Chain A
Amino acid sequence: MIKVIDLYKSFEQLHVLKGVNFQVAPREVVCVIGPSGSGKSTLLRCINKLEEANSGHIYIDGKELTNPKTDINLIRQQVGMVFQLFNLFPHKSTLENITLAPIKIKELSKASADKLALELLGKVGLTDKAHVYPNKLSGGQKQRVAIARALAMQPKVMLFDEPTSSLDPEMVGEVLAVMKDLAIEGMTMVVVTHEMGFAREVGHRVVFMDDGVIVEEGTPQEIFDNPKNPRTKAFLSKVL
């Protein structure tokens, strides 16, 4: 589903990704962990071209993202993204946040977009918040709406960029629960996270990044119970 080959990315003098090779199979849930500044968010942002790679190739569902001739907007419609800071549209109600892209891009009728949005709100447990504006929602509710908004484009892949890192601790669970449901339904997911419990429980594969490269990857059991690389061991000893 996703294939990243020899990806390099730097900001000015700062080399963030130094040759990353990475693959995600359909229906797979991959959790990317690692210290701050290791390049995990940048990798995720490269996968839907919010950051432009300096070199290397990225394929989504067989189409090369890094080819300048590829219509990036078409690919992005198939790649949902959930941000650390939610980035809900503050001038739109919850329902409108979800229906905006389907109506404007897929030219769905308002009625069918509303129906789809209410279904998705049901899925994330927020049907009663349909006509509320984002400023009246808690952090956890905002993030669940953001997930519903991304799902409304019926993407083939969902990217999560530290979706619970800016939440109060008591709200982390509700967001992770929604993500777990998605994983069970068979959504292909790449989750950059500091929630080791989630990575262990829900992830099919865990990727440990440090200093711009993938240091070690494997099943959650391999990474958490029996890490081989000293850098993985050092990181896990600090966070677990």
Chain B
Amino acid sequence: MPLVEIFGLGIFDSITSQRGYAVVIESFPYFLGGAGYTIALTFLSLSMGMVLGLFLGLGKLSANRILYFLSTAFIDFFRGTPLFVQIFLLYFGVLPLFYDNDPISSAIIALGLNSAAYIGEIVRAGIQAVDPGQQEAARSLGMNQRQAMTYVILPQAFKIVIPPMINEFIALLKDSSLVSAITVPELMHRGDLVFANTYQATWIFASIAVIYFVITKTISTIGDKVERRLATD
């Protein structure tokens, strides 16, 4: 087969294919349902990541050596190994030891633990970015460490971490496509299934990409608004 047919005309054919267009139109509600799964997965794992990440961030700043060590080890592992590997390790290896695990809950746990590691670093950096004079002022008034953290440091760190947190949100949403490999019926997985039946790669994956883009653009736009509203200084 001449190369031009594979790379040149082949692409041309698939883009102009009436069949591809028809497949996408027909599958679109199915894709949107997958996008619903993608969004739900992202929200649930991000919530888990934020709660756990807050503790990891505080742990990395803790004077307690055990807490520091545990947080650092956790963050090192989940940042230092591929998310794809973590998904497989948890789904096929670790989680079956604890419960009769299904793809969706396994996906949430894998994505949640992974994002917790990144959010832990975001929280640590956010806390450290608050002027040390704030801590001194709070402590000099007689607040203990916990009160100073709760009433003075964290509210200020919160504002600082919004932009990196939006980044993490978007990254997590895109990375959630990896759990298609463990058959979670989210957007990418549904694209894959339709592709396997129709071979209309360009049309299918381009429309999947567009759906991902619309969601991430929406998140970043909302993020910008929140950031502007909270900017009091």
8 Å CB contact of A89 from B139, B147, B152, B159: B152
Q: Which residues of A sit under 8 angstroms from B131, Cβ to Cβ?
A: 87
Judge whether A187 is part of the interface by a CB distance below 8 angstroms: no
**B143 and A48 within 8 A (CB):** no
Contacts from B to A (Cβ < 8 Å): 131, 133-134, 136-144, 147, 151-152, 155-156, 159, 232-233
- Find chain A residues with CB under 8 A from B139 CB: 50, 73, 76
Q: Any chain B CB within 8 A of the CB of A104? A: yes
State the CA gap A149–B142 with chains docked (Å).
Answer: 12
Q: Which residues of A contact B (CB under 8 A)?
A: 48, 50, 73-74, 76-77, 79-81, 83, 85, 87-91, 100-101, 104-105, 133-135, 146, 149-150, 153
CB-CB under 8 A from B140, the residues of chain A are 48, 50, 76, 79-81, 83, 150
Are A83 and B136 in contact, with the CB atoms below 8 A? yes
Instruction: A89 to B138: give the CA distance in the assembly, Å.
Output: 9
Would A50 and B136 be within 8 Å (CB), given that A89-B152, A91-B232, A133-B232 are in contact?
Answer: yes
Output the residue of A79, A81, A101, A150 with the most chain B CB within 10 A. Answer: A101
- The CA of A133 and the CA of B233, in the complex, are separated in Å by 9
Main DSSP-derived SS at the B contact region = helix
- Tell whether, in the assembled complex, residue B147 and residue A91 are in contact, meaning their CB atoms are under 8 Å apart: no
Q: Given A104-B151, A135-B233, is A74 in contact with B137 using a C-beta cutoff of 8 Å?
A: no
Give chain B nearest CB distance to A116 CB in angstroms: 14
B137 near A87 with CB under 8 A, answer: yes
Residues of chain A within 8 A (CB-CB) of B142 are: 73-74, 76-77, 101, 105, 153
- For B133, list chain A residues within 8 Å (CB): 83, 85, 87
Instruction: Check B141 against A91 for contact (C-beta < 8 Å).
Output: no
Q: How far is the CA of A91 from the CA of B131 in the complex (A)?
A: 13
Q: Do B141 and A77 touch (CB < 8 A)?
A: yes
Assembled-state Cα–Cα distance A229/B232 (Å): 51
Tell me if B134 and A150 are in contact (CB < 8 A): no
